[in-house]
Chain A
Amino acid sequence: MSAWEGILYGFGVALQPAVLVYCLLGVTLGTFIGVLPGIGAMAAISLLLPITFYITPEAALIMLAGVYYGAQYGGAVASILLRLPGTPQSAVTTLDGYPMAQQGRAGVALFTSMISSFIGSILGIVVLVVLAGWLSRAATAFGAADYAAMMILGLVAASTIGAERPMKGFAMVVFGMILGCIGTDVNSGAQRFTFGQTELMDGINLVALAMGLFGVAEVIGNIRNAERQAAPEPVSLRQMMPTRDDLRRIPFPALRGTALGSFFGALPGTGSTLSSFLAYAMERRVSRSPERFGKGAVEGVAGPEAANNAAAITAFVPTLTLGIPGDPIMALMLGALVIHGVQPGPLMLEARPEMFWGLVVSFGIGNLLLLILNLPLIGIWVSMLRIPFRYLYPAILIFVCLGVYSVRGASFDIAAVALIGMAGYLLALARFSPALLLLGFVLGPLIETNLRRAMLISRGDPMVFLERPIACGFTIATAALILVSIWQAWRRHVSKAEEGK
């Protein structure tokens, strides 16, 4: 199916009234979640998972995806108005968005973030279509060793690129992979770390893990923090009108941000948070007047917002074409698809075209809806920021419990959520990334399966990772990343020692 046929076909799927309603529901809820500091897209998607059991797989995927990219739009609102990032991806938007709001230009900052988000998303869709078509053809040449090498690269990239202490990231990834081992071993049927609990024989429930690490842990951490907010000033549509000078400053940062975001979004392991930080750094570097950054530069909002939206779209490339989730949110989406009996992978474009093309077209529709929702109705979203967190979080906890329970009707899972939530809270306090833990948890079993298969095929010869050209490329990239991060740590150590003298 060519891209044009695919898109026409996708319109047929995405324009069905029921699917449209779920798309609207997803993006509205996503914006809501994004606007409110304290809960992220991760928690929202895990809360919605049980509902998706009642609808068709394509509607489910479209709704969950809508929550994800809708949250990218909404996240900027609290960042700009209150200097509280609604989502981690929009943290960098506070740097210039909040100063703009203090100068009375909150409306322009919001307009910039919305329009850049839209540009990033739409161009991200084009990149998605091109890359997915190319990659799903290339992926037929992928063997078990290539898959394993690629996933290992993803995990190493996720824990080293842009990390302050890569060692902590690695530790979380490995910890997640160990948790992924729990349950019945697929090859031999042996029980691993189940300690006689029948509930553990299927492994730790992904939904329980995600909700504990993100829903419960975030609630505990935010009970006091999210409460300390001043009510924002109301913003009207007229205040959103940018000046001609502002308009001139938006397109190029948005395009550069899109390019960065598309690339890092499609790379497994790195994602929208990283790309928004990199986009900000790039804008400051290429600017002729870098001193304006941090004091309300329009470019500092446009670049990162375009980047995180583009990344949110292209993150679907490895998920749908290779069946490898690039970040924890994609892991949840993959989990949702598998529950519906849809196995993403190189064959999905051919075997289930309605899933892929329906999703692609729904991205376009959803982003249009978001633009309509956000520009004229911005006042409503701003007033949502006045809802105190203390009214919301008890309800979130109840929804978390019932959501987890509904997956397989086990009270054991609710108790597990409580335990995981406590652990997640402590981990987040000590700055051990729970996102990397979840990534390791999801990719661990996939890596193990492919590694065992690869070693069986190569008769126990580990050189297969250097002999196969694809695997060799990934292995070299992994080694390079590790060496670079060791070198950086050593340089930090040396410069500190010199300071000490």
Chain B
Amino acid sequence: MNSRKDNLMAYLFLLPACLLLGVFVLYPLLQLLWVSLNEWNILKDQMTFVGVKNYQAILAEDGFRQALLNTIYYVAVTVPLGMAVSLGLALLLNDKLRGVGFLRTAVFTPFVTSTVAAGVIFIWLMDYDRGLVNAALNWLGISRINFLQSDQWAMPAVILMTVWKQAGYNMILFLAGLQSIPEMYYEAAAIDGAKRGWQTFRYITWPLLWPTTFFVLVISIIFAFRSFEQMFVMTRGGPVGSTTTLVYYIFDKAFKFGNMGHAAAISTLMVLIVLLITWLQFRGQKEFEM
């Protein structure tokens, strides 16, 4: 009797969360799956079931392959680079220096800036003949680079902007992780003769920071897969599709070509890719801990 009452209570408490997840995550996900098996004209609101035809069509497309490769390139560079930069910043700003609060705020500011505004500023910074970046390159004697209009340099430019924008957020996470490492380990190491610097970092900071690093890795990868605004503002997925990532390709398919079925099929594949990567990570995490 009593346990039944407790169960009921527990389910009731779970209900709001389940409802929210059901309405905003599960239902759209199932709907997405359904759309991916249909041809859907949103203007006429007509749906025709076509089975796996959408999947066959996109897997045969050059555009999809290009978007997938672009996404891999983007994630593979943005994530490690972004993590290295933010960890470096966190290590630098972990000490109780004077003005450290101001510096941390300064590094964090890009994260709370709107991506669109930041994107527009980066367009100016990277302008071929009037941008600050090219002025600096020129001054250093390096020839100018037409970042946003070159199919080789557009992606690095977008990555640079993303790393700059994301660094502050990851830095805060790393800072929290660093401050949770008890000082006594460093003291003990100092007594044992370890040099403060590389040795303490390698044998104390890095292993004890691992839970934070792992968390940052997972969310960085998910953030990177979801990136859209940077490309939309800075390059429109171009030139020649060189910055068209999967999300941008989905947007193009859905809203420029009005092909909701294809867009949903690519979205489904993307969900699977992200699931797979996250699963691999968690497996790797477990093995690492053992």
Q: Do A and B come from one complex?
A: no
B: which residues have CB within 8 A of A? Answer: none
| A interface, CB within 8 angstroms of B | none
